[in-house]
Structures are given as structure tokens and as C-alpha cells.
Amino acid sequence: MMRFSSWASWLVTAYVGIVLAATNITSGIMEVDLVFPRNETYAPTSSLPVVFAIKNPELLPLLSNSITFTAHAWENLERFPIAATYDLRWRNFSSSDPYFVYYTFAGFETEDVWWLTWSFGWTGCTEESLSHKKVNYSDYSTSLTFTTKTSGQAIDLVAGTESDNCPADSGVAIEVASTLDVPIGVNNWEGGDTCAVLADSTPAATPCEVKIDAVAASSIAASIAHNACRATQVVGCDDDESVAARLAVGVVTILAAAFGSLGFLF
């Protein structure tokens, strides 16, 4: 598997255009949702997108966090899984809300049942924990199954997220009550100068509310194609956005077959 995480910063600038180098937001509810795929049956494909949505993304830098996921073929759990980890700590976030983190993977060309597991890990702090030079780590893990079958629906991010029928556990919400300055020498802290003080209660996530509209879906396809051209110099590609959009399907197929995965931010 090959990851192209270094392209994420380019994508934020080129396709969103507004980058927040820093944020003054110190409280609110941040939510991470798996929005695609869902527990559905899809036609076998050479490139399957896995899309996460982040609500209130400006709070992410306070939580020193990452997303990890794996996909196993249910009929062959010993097969090497399709997997990725995405570190979100140092990303600049656009004004887009929700903010999409997405990946495209090869390996779903056959009929099978797939078991996709994912987790989101984050770090919080309290005055007491910081007095002991410590922070508090938490994580949320869940899973779903989906099927690839010849009679299944074609991959379509817009149609695939229209329904309000999706598992409630496909997301996790975290409420940041305030922040504290992190002193020098705190163990296992890999974030910035401040950390999040979490609220005592845990709000309910609402993953079914997230929809991928045609504009977002087109941007995802165009950005994948654009970056694929930049990375491989495929004949016929150039850096023009309109060309990237026209080549989206073909280039994604070529790159997925060659490298296995592409990861980007929107």
C-alpha cells in the first residue's frame, strides 16, 4: 500500500482556497463520522472511496488525533487487510464544514463481504493530569460490513449518502469545554501549546446528517485525478483543474491498480 499524505496540504489550497493557519476556537462539539461506504451492496470496483466527515474541524488541533481503519475480506480474514492511518494533528483546515477526509483503495474487484473497522483516537487534559505531566488518551472504535456483488449499486457518493438510514454508531462526538496551556515536559503529548479540556457528558453523534452533494463529489474526483497526474505523469494529464476532472475516473482506476490507495483532504 502506498500513501500520498504529503499531497494533503496542496489539496486544501488548490481546491478549497481558504486555509486557516491558526484557530481561536476553544470550545464546541467536534464530530467524526464514516459517511461512505455504508452497510450496503455495491458493484465490484477497482477504486473504492472511504470518506470521513469532520464537523467543527477547527477543534481538531486541540485533540492531537488520528483516524485508523482496516478492511478485511470476510471470507478470507487471513488475507492481508487494506489499512491506513491518517494523522490529523498538523493539518491546516479550511472553512468547509463538514470537512472531508477521504481515501481511495484498490482490491474490491471481487464479490465478497467486507468487514471495515475504524477508530478515532484523541487526547484531553485536566489541571490535575498536567500537574503530573500527563495527558488522557481516549479512543472510539466501531465497524460495519458491506458487500461487493455484481448486482450491487454503482459507487456514487451523492446517492450513497442521501438516505437517513445509517448506523448511529458510525460517528463519535466530542465536546471541548475549554483549553489549558501545556507545560514543558508533559509525557506523551504530541500536540501544540494547548490541549482540550473535555466536557463530562458525551454528546450523541449524528452521522446520517452528513450528505455529499454533487459539488463535493466532483471536487473529490477532480482532486484525486489531479494529484494522480502530478505523482505519475500519466500521458495526457496536466495540472489544469478541468482536465483533472475529465480524467477522474480513468486516472483513479490506473492509480488504484498500481498503488492500492490514495489519501486526501477536502
Greatest mean pLDDT among 72-86, 162-176, 213-227? 162-176
Asked if residue 259 belongs to a domain, the reply is no
Instruction: State the CATH number of the domain containing residue 149.
Output: 2.60.40.10
Asked if residue 138 belongs to a domain, the reply is yes
Q: Is the dihedral of CA 234, 1, 139, 157 positive or negative?
A: positive
Asked if residue 249 belongs to a domain, the reply is no
Q: In the prediction, which pLDDT does 102 show? A: 84
Confidence of residue 162 (pLDDT cuts 50, 70, 90): very high
* pTM: predicted TM-score of the whole model, two decimal places: 0.77
Q: In the prediction, which pLDDT does 251 show? A: 33
- The CA distance from 139 to 104, in Å, is 24
Asked if residue 248 belongs to a domain, the reply is no
Asked if residue 257 belongs to a domain, the reply is no
Asked if residue 264 belongs to a domain, the reply is no
Question: What integer best gives the mean pLDDT of the chain?
Answer: 78
Domain limits for position 72 = 23-89+100-218
My answer on whether omega of the bond before 37 falls inside 30° of 0, hence cis, is: yes
Asked if residue 172 belongs to a domain, the reply is yes
The count of domains in the chain is: 1
Asked if residue 139 belongs to a domain, the reply is yes
